[in-house]
Amino acid sequence: MYSIRKQTRQALLALTVTITTVLCTAAAADEGAATPDEVVTKVWSAAKVLQTKGASAIPSLNNADGPWVWKDSYVFAFDCRLDRMVAHPMRPDLVGRPIMQVTDNNGKFIFKELCDAAKHKNGGWVEYQWTRPGAGQTSRKLSYAVTADLAFSTGIQVAAGVYDETLSVEQLNKMTEQLADPGSFDH
Amino acid sequence: MEQQKQGNPAVVGLGGFGLTTMVLQFHNVGWMGIGPVIWLGLIFGGLAQMIAGFQEKSTGNNFGYCAFTAYGAFWISLALLLIGNQFNIYVSSKTDIGWFLVAWTLFTAILWIGALRIHGAMATTFTLLLIGFILLDLAHFGYPQLTVVAGYELMATALAAWYMMAHVIFADVYGRSILPVGNPWIKA
């Protein structure tokens, strides 16, 4: 009798621990992972700040404790015409360096694709492999890039991304078009 | 008593105008950042050119008086405008800077008509300057890729201004005209 009760108690305890762990992990994932609409909002805000404040806004994009770093994501800026990284809060070693030859583990030319995506009116999403901040290995990243307009410049490109295994580029481009022009999606 | 020889303030005015115009274009084509443009704009293109402008007053040269003082003020305004953006004082957006440039384009168009009557080098400089301003206007209103075109075009403007500076200096030190400035484009 005693042993059955003990077993039950142990089972209950194990169950409680499991449930708590699962819930906490889920909550942490929710807290820790940037969402696609956050990415779009951040990228648009960064582009707007560059349009408004010009080159003087660039240092804030290089600040790892600044407004452009949130959860597990961050805004980075690059110049497709000059082939160089303009600002990267996580990788200061890349700033000022050429970008066009940068490839991911699958040999994809990341910035060539980001530059093509940024040419579209409302920007576009690109899928590639990149290291999530704090992680030891690369994972699937989907980044949204636009071209920001700034004075005395041909414009620079700004982007940010989500780390996700399931979302598709088409899905995200559609979501972005809808955010950019909600009116045309009213039916 | 022999009158003391006077210097020509245009050598400083043209020097400052040319040099700051040149470094802004080094920025516009992407060779360098905006930092040196701001400080040179305040001191050489701004302060020095403006003083040269004031000195033109006593030479009786209204064209130089207006042009050097005004473009000196242009550089000081532009530098302060960019500094204002850094410190959130009356932040000027790309469009705001575009309209600032449009006003300077209109002003330059008036001086351009005057320049046509001065000599070939002045007419060339102001024609290039006016085209450069128009290109920068377009670059700020929907054609950002023209910034680079304006960059190279305005480098030619800066060289033309330096040519006139060199004309005055060389004529003085060599005692004869070394660099021809050409006839006015509009005669009589």
A152 vs B27, B86, B91: nearest CB: B27
Average pLDDT of chain A, as a whole number:
89
Helix axes B49-57, B10-28, angle to 10 degrees: 150
Determine the Cα–Cα distance for residues A39 and A54; give it in Å rounded to an integer: 21
Percent of chain A with pLDDT over 90: 77
Q: Flag whether pLDDT at A2 surpasses 60.
A: no
Dihedral of CA atoms B152, B156, B158, B160 in degrees, nearest 10, equals 180
> With helix as H, strand as E and coil as C, how does A89-120 read?
CCCHHHECCCCCCCECCCCCEHHHHHHHHHHC
Which residues does A contribute to its contact with B (CB < 8 Å)?
51-57, 79, 81-82, 149-155
Predicted local distance difference test score (pLDDT) of residue A14: 65
Residue that the structure tokens 């991911």 belong to? A104
State which residues form the domain around B120.
Answer: 10-174
Is residue A30 scored above 60 in pLDDT? no
Q: Identify any residues that bridge with A87 across adjacent strands, giving them in sequence order.
A: A77
**Into how many domains does chain B fold?**
1
pLDDT at A31 over 70: no
Segment A96-125 shows an average pLDDT of 97
Q: Judge whether residue B163 has pLDDT over 60.
A: yes
C-alpha–C-alpha distance, residues B27 and A82, integer Å: 12
Residue B188, in any domain of the structure: no
What's the rounded Cα separation, in Å, for the pair A37 and A176? 8
The string of pLDDT tens digits covering residues A118-174 is 999 999 999 999 999 888 899 999 999 999 999 999 999 999 999 999 999 999 999
Give SS3 for B185: coil
Structure tokens at A155: 């414009």
The predicted-structure confidence for B83-98, as pLDDT tens digits, reads as follows 999 999 999 999 999 9
Of A29-43, A98-112, B28-42, B88-102, the one with minimum mean pLDDT is A29-43
Q: How many CA atoms lie within 13 A of B102 on its CB side?
A: 10
- Pairwise pLDDT comparison (A17 vs B110), residue with the higher score: B110
CB B95 within 8 Å of CB B141:
yes
Task: Report the residue from B28, B86, B91 with minimal CB separation from A152.
Answer: B28
pTM: 0.87
**Would you give the DSSP letter of residue B3?**
P
Compute the distance between CA of residue B171 and CA of residue B167 in angstroms, rounded to an integer.
Answer: 6
- Output the six-digit token pair for A156: 């620079």
Mean pLDDT of B63-90: 97
B94–A56 C-beta distance less than 8 A: no
The DSSP letter of residue A158 is E
Q: Which of A6-15, B59-68, B69-78, B178-187 has the lowest mean pLDDT?
A: A6-15
For residue A182, the model assigns a pLDDT of 85
Give the mean model confidence (pLDDT) for residues B10-30.
98
Between the two ends of chain A, the Cα-to-Cα distance in Å is: 65
- The amino acid sitting at B151 is G
Percent of chain B with pLDDT over 70: 99
Split at pLDDT 50, 70, 90, the class of A27 is very low
pLDDT of residue A185: 72
Interface of B with A (CB under 8 A): 24, 27-28, 30, 33-34, 82, 85-86, 91-94, 97-98, 136, 139-140, 144-145, 147-148
d(CA B115, CA B63): 8
User: Is B2 domain-assigned?
Assistant: no
Q: Looking at residue A12, what is its pLDDT?
A: 65
Measured CA to CA, the distance from residue B120 to residue B124 in angstroms comes to 6
d(CA A53, CA A50): 5
Instruction: Express as a percent the part of chain A with pLDDT over 70.
Output: 83
Q: In this structure, which topology does domain A34-185 adopt according to CATH?
A: Beta-Lactamase (3.30.450)
Span B60-77, mean pLDDT? 98
The residues, ordered by sequence, that sit 6+ positions from B32 with a Cβ below 8 Å of its Cβ are B23, B26
CB contact set of B109 (below 8 Å; sequence gap of 6+): B130
For residue B98, how far is the Cα from the chain centroid?
A: 18
**A147: part of which helix (H) or strand (E)?**
strand A138-148
Instruction: Find chain B residues with C-beta within 8 A of A53's C-beta.
Output: 85-86, 91, 93
**Residue B84: which of B101, B96, B72 has the closest Cα?**
B96
Whole-angstrom Cα distance, residue A117 to residue A127? Answer: 11
Which residue of B38, B85, B94 to mutate against A (max A Cβ within 10 Å)?
A: B94
Confidence at residue B36, expressed as pLDDT on a 0 to 100 scale = 97
